[in-house]
Structure formats: structure tokens, C-alpha cells
């Protein structure tokens, strides 16, 4: 999932350099959403690991 975030950030940066503001904004927004989902799932997996011990 983190790989998808990096991919969308790279797409956003390339689109911003080329002047495609709408595409860059959309790709950055998607990257943010995926990154926050990754963080939530990561914290949940950490908590489950601590609870099992």
C-alpha cells in the first residue's frame, strides 16, 4: 500500500512540473488518502501484535 502512495506522489510531482494542476491535485489527494489508510492499518496491526503477547 505504501508503494501506491509513492506512485501517486511521483505522478503528482510530474504532473505539477508539466503544468497539469488538476491532475496533480487529484493525484496528491489520492496519495494522502492511501497514506492515511496505510497509517491506520499499521497502527491497528501494531496494537494487535501487542495484545497477543
Query: Residues 1, 41: contact at Cβ < 8 Å?
Result: yes
Question: Residue holding cell 511521483?
Answer: 10
Q: Does the structure show a pLDDT above 70 at 44?
A: yes
pLDDT of residue 5: 83
Q: Does the structure show a pLDDT above 70 at 39?
A: yes
Model confidence at 33, pLDDT cuts 50, 70, 90, reads very high
Rounded to whole angstroms, how far apart are CA atoms 33 and 5? 9
Instruction: Quote the domain boundaries for residue 39.
Output: 2-52
Residue that wins the pLDDT comparison between 1 and 43: 43
Structural domain count, the chain: 1
- Interval 20-45 mean pLDDT: 90
pLDDT of residue 40: 94
Amino acid at each position: 500500500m505504501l508503494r501506491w502512495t509513492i506512485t501517486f506522489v511521483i505522478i503528482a510531482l510530474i504532473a505539477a512540473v508539466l503544468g497539469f494542476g488538476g491532475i496533480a491535485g487529484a493525484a496528491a489527494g489520492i496519495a494522502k488518502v492511501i497514506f492515511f489508510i496505510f497509517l491506520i492499518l499499521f497502527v491497528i496491526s501494531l496494537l494487535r501484535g501487542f495484545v497477543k503477547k
